[in-house]
Amino acid sequence: MRDSRRPRIVLAVLVLVSVTMILLDLRGGSSGPLGPLRSVGAAVIGPLERAAATVVVPVRTYVQSVASVGDKDRVISELTVENDALRAQLDTVANDRARVADLDALLGLVDANDYVTVPAQVIAVGPAQGFAWTVTIDAGSRDGVEVDMSVISGKGLVGRVVSVSPTTATVLLIVDATSTVGGRLAGTSQIGIVSGTGRQDVLQMQLLDPLAVVDLGETIVTFGSEGDRPYAPGIPIGTVKEMRGTEGQLTRSAIVEPFADISMLDIVGVVLRVPEREPRTPLPADPASTGGAP
């Protein structure tokens, strides 16, 4: 039979050596008999640990980042959707504010002139019925709109209605080359014909009096049409920016900048009725002109 005592003896010796080394290390610290051995171990094992760290740490970081890619993509997608929603809300708010401002300006002009007006929104822009400058509005005959009614914005005259359907109407803009409006200088009451030039920012006024004194910046308003159609009286048209020709020339005219910005039309109003005026009182004859007594 094999002797089983030898392994037991070897094991006991190893345990005894281990305990002895531990006790010596505890008693002597770094200056004890195991200090050199510990220093050698640190010198050998330390670089190995640092080398392992340079490999393990980046790998661990990469694994963690790869594991979180799905979460980052989800967060980015959610933030993108939220950002788009906020942008849409801001655009809507800005658009609503602009419309409220247009409506407030329109109400101010309507109140100042006591017009009966139906509001409308421009829903299409483009040539129609042989005219170059027209817009379509979302108010029609069921709203009381008829052909040859004045159309205004909060700033002034826009044009006149040229065709009507139950729910929409086509408006000829004052800048169209075929458009003509009777105008009056607000300061001097001089009258003339305001015509479109085919440009959205320029009108031209032919003065009836070639000797009329015209100041730059003077306001021009409509002097009205028979039956207040197609143009109601007193609607602002624009301001005089330049005079062409000299006093006395039959071709003397004023270059006019329209108040209404045709390129930014949104909320407009169709003038259904103007205030009814009281019957005028006849003037008595001047005694001096009839040869009567003083």
In this structure, are 43 and 153 located in the same domain?
A: no
In this structure, are 16 and 148 located in the same domain?
A: no
pLDDT at 210 (0 to 100): 83
Residue 137 belongs to a domain: yes
In this structure, are 123 and 267 located in the same domain?
A: yes
Query: Would you place residue 126 in the very low, low, confident or very high pLDDT band (cuts 50, 70, 90)?
Result: confident
The range of the structural domain enclosing residue 159 comes to: 114-273
Average pLDDT, the chain: 78
The pLDDT tens digits of the residues spanning 140-155 come to 999 999 999 999 999 9
In this structure, are 136 and 217 located in the same domain?
A: yes
In this structure, are 42 and 144 located in the same domain?
A: no
In this structure, are 119 and 236 located in the same domain?
A: yes
Residue 51 belongs to a domain: yes
In this structure, are 150 and 269 located in the same domain?
A: yes
Four-residue CA torsion sign, 12, 13, 18, 21: positive
Say which residue, 151 or 32, is predicted with more confidence: 151
In this structure, are 49 and 149 located in the same domain?
A: no
Domains of the chain: total: 2
Q: CATH number of the domain at 199, please.
A: 2.40.10.340
Q: Of the residues 44, 59, 74, which one is the last residue of a structural domain? A: 59
Say which residue, 71 or 233, is predicted with more confidence: 233
Residue 74 belongs to a domain: no
> What's the pTM?
0.64
Residue 164 belongs to a domain: yes
The pLDDT tens digits of the residues spanning 39-97 come to 544 554 455 455 545 644 565 565 555 556 567 677 777 777 777 776 766 666 666 67
Residue 286 belongs to a domain: no
